[in-house]
Chains A and B, each alone.
Chain A
Amino acid sequence: AQKVTQAQTEISVVEKEDVTLDCVYETRDTTYYLFWYKQPPSGELVFLIRRNSFDEQNEISGRYSWNFQKSTSSFNFTITASQVVDSAVYFCALREHFGNEKLTFGTGTRLTIIP
């Protein structure tokens, strides 16, 4: 069965510091998809990134970067030069290719950026 673990329940950093959110997943499929979503205090779920299992290239988008390592089943998310607006709950999620299309979410990491 698929499983996503976000071991960090809460993280607080001072503004402008870098922070990494960890995500470890389990799946029996050889093809799968990984996601990160942001949930700000307003409550909506904001899609950040999708990564396919066959594409291990890391990705950078502005201050955000993602490190995908199949060898350790991890898909970590780093925010560089954090800002107060980054304060949110961040969810990592997994979808198996041959599954029934559901997303399995981790328990989320609450990130607080201290001004």
Chain B
Amino acid sequence: DTAVSQTPKYLVTQMGNDKSIKCEQNLGHDTMYWYKQDSKKFLKIMFSYNNKELIINETVPNRFSPKSPDKAHLNLHINSLELGDSAVYFCASSPIAGQSSYNEQFFGPGTRLTVL
């Protein structure tokens, strides 16, 4: 069974469109994250949610809006897509303090977004 899943795996779209990427984890974790990996492979945190509450927002443009309907899901909606948004987006989750493997982050397979 997949622990952290993302859909879609690939997303090709035109500049100016709005798109969403979905993330689900079945690990029972309380914290979920979105990371962006650019063309040079640099990985950077974008957002983090703990039990549906936003705890990290790393100066990401307002066009990016995460939504967490429940603690097992963290979706990423992007408005007015730009060429520079092309990247691989990784979702991750981690358990709460006190659980084994605390501090580890488990990553999804990534979503490759290409903006034309």
Contacts and interface: CB of A to CB of B under 8 A. Distances in A.
Contact of A105 (B40, B44, B94, B103): B44
Interface residues of A, number: 22
B110 A44 contact: yes
Interface of B: 31, 33, 35, 40-45, 48, 50, 55-56, 58, 88, 90, 94, 103-107, 109-110, 112
A100 to B, nearest CB: 5
B106 A47 contact: yes
Nearest to B42: A107
A51 to B, nearest CB: 10
A102 interface: yes
B104 A50 contact: yes
A64 interface: no
Contact of A108 (B33, B41, B106, B110): B41
25 contacts: A35-B104, A35-B105, A37-B107, A39-B41, A43-B88, A43-B109, A50-B103, A50-B104, A91-B43, A100-B48, A100-B55, A100-B56, A101-B48, A101-B56, A102-B33, A102-B45, A102-B56, A103-B35, A103-B45, A105-B43, A105-B44, A107-B41, A107-B42, A108-B41, A108-B43
